[in-house]
Amino acid sequence: MEGRIHSVETMGLDDGPGIRYVLFMQGCLMRCQFCHNPDTWHIHEGRLVDSNDIFLEAQIFLPYYRASGGGITVSGGEPLVQAPFVRDLFRACKEAGIHTTLDTTGYIWNDAVIEVLQHTDLVLLDLKEMDDQKHHDLTSVHNPSVLQFARYLAEHNIPAWIRHVLVPGLTDDPDGLRQIGAFIKNMPNIERVELLPFHKMGEYKWQELGIPYQLTDVQAATDDEVQTAYGYLGESVRKELMPAWNGSTASS
């Protein structure tokens, strides 16, 4: 199966457990205000690859992945834009005993996505906003399919890490964080909840692409602000699911 990719990281440490081969797919239907990879939005701009070639390349690093409890992560963009490609890659990985992680917004929901999940060991699910209008204002799309995706993971007990990008003044309001906590508090499949502080390292890409960037004056959340936000989540979410704040600046 052929697909279009943006880039590859062979020794990733932030996208799932252990050391990972991270494949960044091309194509995304959301237009998040805080996106740091707008160059992944359009699928036709990516590099065409074969899923088997990616599988063979990942196998070169297999000793590192297995020794660290790692594996392969497919991210984006939004990887489920190219669900058949991800399905074939993950199927090959599972047959070879390689741990598979899907990093997704959960926005795309169809039979091909269900097939991907049959070969997925862990899902990194980025919950943007629970309120549908706020979600649309932030991403340009509505969120019913995202919530359906999350419920499917819970119903089928597919392990998941919940991620939420913390943008001061935009996605850090107490009510919104409480709504996320209330939504996921009874999901038995949730293994971890992470707040990822907004950064502007991708702002130059918006400028290069000629896309107006609305967050020029927004600063990254401070450590205290992140801890406060974890506190709002912790009103509903079991605190053992939330890692101690470590100063990471990764966001998606």
Tens digits of per-residue pLDDT, 183-199? 999 899 999 999 999 98
Give CA separation, 154 vs 150, 158, 240, in Å.
6, 6, 18
Whether the predicted pLDDT of 29 surpasses 70: yes
pLDDT at 164 over 90: yes
Q: Are 59 and 96 in contact (CB under 8 A)?
A: yes
pLDDT, one tens digit per residue, over 178-234 is 999 999 998 999 999 999 999 888 899 999 999 999 999 998 888 899 999 999 988
Q: How much is the mean pLDDT over the chain?
A: 93
Q: What is the pLDDT of residues 44-103, one digit of tens each?
A: 999 999 999 999 999 999 999 999 999 999 999 999 999 999 999 999 999 999 999 999
Q: Contact at 8 Å (CB) between 8 and 47?
A: no
Average pLDDT over residues 243-248: 52
Q: Are 249 and 220 spatial neighbours (Cβ–Cβ below 8 Å)?
A: yes
pTM above 0.75, yes or no: yes
| Structural domains in the chain, sorted by start | 2-241 (3.20.20.70)
The tally of CA atoms less than 13 A away on the side-chain side of residue 148 is 10
> Which residue in 91, 98, 94, 81 sits closest to 115, CA to CA?
91
Contact between 149 and 106 (Cβ < 8 Å)? yes
